Amino acid sequence: MAELRLGPLLRYADGSSATVWVETSRPCAAEVRGSEGARGESRTFQIAGHHYALVEVSGLTPGTTQSYEVLLDGAQVWPLPDSPFPPSVIRTPVPEDTVRVAFGSCRWAAPPDGGHDPVGPDALDTLAARIAADPAGERPDVLLLLGDQVYADEVSEDTRRWLAARRDLSEPPGSEVADYEEYTRLYYESWLDPEVRWLLSTVPSCMIFDDHDVIDDWNTSAAWLADMRATPWWRERLLSGLMSYWVHQHLGNLTPAELAADPLYAAVRETPDGTDELRSFACKADADPASVRWSYRRDFGRVRLLMIDTRAARVLDEDSRAMIHPGEAEWLRAQMADGRGDYDHLLIGTSLPWLLPHLVHDAEAWDAALCRGERGERWARFGERLRRAADLEHWAAFPASFEELAEALREAGSGPGAPATVCVLSGDVHHAYVAEPTWPGGGGPDARVVQLTCSPVHNSIPRYIRLGFRFGWSAAARALGRRIAGHGGVPRPGVDWRRTGGPWFGNQLMTLVLRGRSATLRLEQARPEKGGGARLRTVVESELSS
């Protein structure tokens, strides 16, 4: 009898259809049945001895909510017996609805069985508890997970013991994951957390990777990549990371129409074992990043989300360094222009913030100039060491891409049909803040443009990060940054910006409430309660437009 190993995850939902992802213990027919007649069924496909299905559910009606169950070969496997949670539901929007978008990044798996948590309450666990306590109350229409959904290079003690029972940890890569099977362990640990499992079964989600989904500093530079490719264990690590990401995260990002047109998805479903097909795809993605697009678009009524891959789509050659390659940049602009006037809010999801504290921005731009050789070979070697040690790899470290994104955002927010807001949603930096750009000479867009950064969902926030980022936003730090940039001959950026909220530190989530052309921002932090448990407490709530 087939069993449910992981999931269900409710990934896509529109007014008439949805997709539900599952992993099963053996080949079978996976079926989703809604309480009001919605239904979908799909055979599992096999990757590296694991069995998965992405079930397209049809027969939904806009503006309705119906509970659902999952069956494998006709036997019900979800909801779980004696589940303490309400039924999982599929809620279908209508175009004029309010859209609530919650987002964050960087989640270590919470300790099992409610054990002691050294980094404090998990914001996703806490959100799940709030929704479960009031199923008819407010909940996100979509949850955006902006990177580091799993940590391939920082495993828990439980996973380390599991790895040690499998292989010799004295051999590289030691207690980091090495292959596809070990990546699946990370997803089990993270997504079998009871609260998170239920949350992902009832709130649609969109995801994108960041570095820790593969390894810290992934694709930070051409020199870094050359060093890694000379390491015996790297190729299997990377290919397994891309394969597991495609299965667990990327497939669910796609619409039913995109899935139907995807040749790789068709290939892995048509063969008894799709491992070779998927591995060939990963090899191609490694050899020619421009041949694969991990970025994607989702429309939620009159809200457009463009999720950008800022890891695998990089151009690393120092003479043409770019955060996203030219084809990706062209795609981004085309999606901004498509149906102009059909959306009131434009959301740009990028795991790495576009606007940083000025000191950090200038330090990254200076380091990029050093690595290009602006101060000679000796400084270039120093710049490369510093880039890796200090994680100097955000948009500021790709100066041409920083300016190109600024221009693309200005264009998207200007002229007839411009949206009310253009919001850049990011994570990575283990704190939250709001920053707003201004363009010189009054040449800014009509829309309000904001950088909204929220991180972590569940991770540590060392004291030096708190102190460093608080100082980084100060006037003194800004002056220091300009002196540093001057050493590398770095010109001033084409836009200026100021911090208008934060910095805030803690395990946290941001939520955008988008209604017509109005937008409200809310930041909530997971905080322990005196009597036990935790709750999300609102730290700030403000209007972005009206």
Tens of pLDDT, residues 497-537: 999 999 999 999 999 999 999 999 999 999 999 888 899 99
Using CA atoms, how far residue 467 sits from 80, 120, 448, in Å, is 45, 19, 30
Indicate if the pLDDT at residue 95 is higher than 80.
no
Give residue 533's pLDDT: 87
Give 498's strand partners.
436
Cis ω before 140 (30° cut-off from 0): no
DSSP element (H, E) containing 364: helix 358-371
**What angle is formed at CA 302 by the lines to CA 201 and CA 259, rounded to 5 degrees?**
50
Residue 351 CB contacts under 8 Å (≥ 6 apart), including other chains: 105, 146, 147, 148, 208, 209, 210, 310, 311, 426, 427, 428
CA–CA separation, 147 vs 1, rounded Å?
35
* Sequence-separated (6 or more) residues with CB below 8 Å from residue 288: none
- The token pair at 72 is 């494998």
Q: Tell me the CB-side half-sphere exposure of residue 409, using CA atoms within 13 A.
A: 30
- Contact criterion met (CB below 8 Å) for 376 and 300: no
Domain 99-164+205-242+293-545 bears CATH identifier 2.50.20.10: no
Per DSSP, the three-state class of 261 is coil
The pLDDT confidence band at residue 113, using thresholds 50, 70 and 90, is: confident
Mean pLDDT of 107-131: 90
- R_g over Cα of the chain: 23
The pLDDT score that the predictor gives to residue 463 is 86
Tokens of residue 394, six digits: 């955000």
What band does 115 get if pLDDT is binned at 50, 70 and 90? confident
pLDDT band at 477 (very low <50, low <70, confident <90, very high): very high
Q: Which residues contact 348 (CB under 8 A, 6 or more apart)?
A: 306, 308, 354, 409, 422, 423, 424, 425
pTM for this one? 0.97
Q: According to the model, what pLDDT value does residue 464 have?
A: 84
Q: Which of 341, 332, 339, 456 minimizes the C-alpha distance to 401?
A: 332
Indicate the average pLDDT of the chain: 96
